[in-house]
Amino acid sequence: MDRPRALLLENIDPVAADLLRSAGYETESLRGALDEADLVAALDGVDLLGIRSKTLVTAEVLRRSPGLAAVGAFCIGTNQIDLAAAAAAGVAVFNAPYSNTRSVVEMAIAEIICLARRLVDRDRALHAGTWDKSAAGSHEIRGRTLGIVGYGNIGSQLSVLAEALGMRVLFYDLEDKLALGNAQACGSLEELLERSETVTLHVDGRAGNAGLFGREQFARMPRRSLFLNLSRGFVVDHEALRDHVLSGHVAGAAVDVFPDEPREQGDEFASVLRGLPNVILTPHVGGSTQEAQHDIGRFVAGKLVDFTSSGTTTLSVNLPTVALHGSSAARFALLHRNVPGVLARADALVGEHGLNVDGQVLATRGELGYAVTDVSATPPPELLAALGELPETVRLTLLPCSAG
């Protein structure tokens, strides 16, 4: 039999390829993203796909890649993947929701300090040969009020570090969140904007967040306040931000994510924010420290290997969560439509072919059910054919070995 294949795109840390190769995968790593047509062609014969934020895994890509078993998003967000289509095709999706949290938080803290001290302007002036030794417009962050929009993993950790530096912290989230330290929850976004001297966005990629921050929101911020966005590019109106920076209403801004980003390293970057005073622009590197990328590569690749070797779906973002511990002669995974009686019929087929069920775990999620079953001997082809022909079966996988 041919070795299983994995394709990694967008310059994923080499530890991921090393881990996949050690698990028996023939692994190819590419530096850039692929468009839909090129991605479909590249996925011919590929079992596992690894991407970051630029590659779009659409329903069409999934439809034309029936051999694909799983997708690893080597980042936090998964909005670049059609999760519903992936689930319907039996393709598991995994991401790294926590691995680069610290990197993003440290960068936010650094940028808040740089903006408050106007270090970007001082740096540019000195490189241009101008000695501008002045305290004008330069402030400490101690005692100032930070407003955090989105109090998830990143927002809450930023809250703790900012408070340790002497900042007062306010936050707003659509969900009721427990405040850490002395942070205070605001009842509305408008309240947070009116009370904060620095506003930072840490929201997720859901469609409802598109256009979250525009002219009305900037106008509500106090004059000479600071603004940061290290979350998603499409949540901010950059034309409105430019106008408020040029008018002096916003004293400084740091932006790491953009509505349209270059596909590959070295491509031209276009933005209305280029060249503005006291504005820090970074190329989507909030989570791009060597430590974070190494941890993400190890974590997501490990989830892909666990799924394809033992059927484990722990922390999958689109399939029911199942982890069957123990060992047996053989193991299979049955992803099926969530209707009554499927598991009973599957177990009856196992018995009819002379095998015992040694262990089994079932979980459901919406319209899908996922069962991992250990049996007493290698299932004969007739049993696998019968399980695959159940009308509710989405995908049947005979796993290479059972977990020990």
Active site residues: 232, 261, 284
Cα 222 to its chain centre, rounded Å, is 32
CA 102 vs CA 116, 245, 286: distances in Å = 21, 29, 10
Token representation of residue 364: 């459901």
First to last CA, the chain: 24
Residue 12 tokens, joined? 């994923």
Under 8 Å between Cβ of 216 and 244: no
Q: Are 238 and 272 spatial neighbours (Cβ–Cβ below 8 Å)?
A: yes
The identity of residue 164, as a single letter, is: A
| Separation of alpha carbons 272 and 404, rounded Å | 56
Residues facing 56 on adjacent strands = none
Contact status, residue 330 vs residue 350, Cβ threshold 8 Å: no
Tokens of 308: 């394809």
Alpha-carbon torsion (299, 29, 11, 91), positive or negative: negative
Q: How far apart are CA 215 and CA 241, in angstroms?
A: 8
Structure tokens at 337: 């439509």
Among candidates 78, 26, 25, 87, which has minimal Cα distance to 51? 78
By DSSP bridging, strand 250-255 and strand 225-229 are: parallel
For 44, list phi and psi in degrees, rounded to 5. Answer: -60, 115
- Give the number of other Cβ atoms within 10 Å of residue 231's Cβ: 28
CA angle 175, 179, 183 (to 5 degrees): 120
User: In whole angstroms, what is the distance from residue 235 CA to residue 259 CA?
Assistant: 8
Residue 296 backbone dihedrals phi, psi, to 5 degrees:
-65, -45
Please tell me the distance from the alpha carbon of residue 163 to that of residue 183, in angstroms, as a whole number. 8
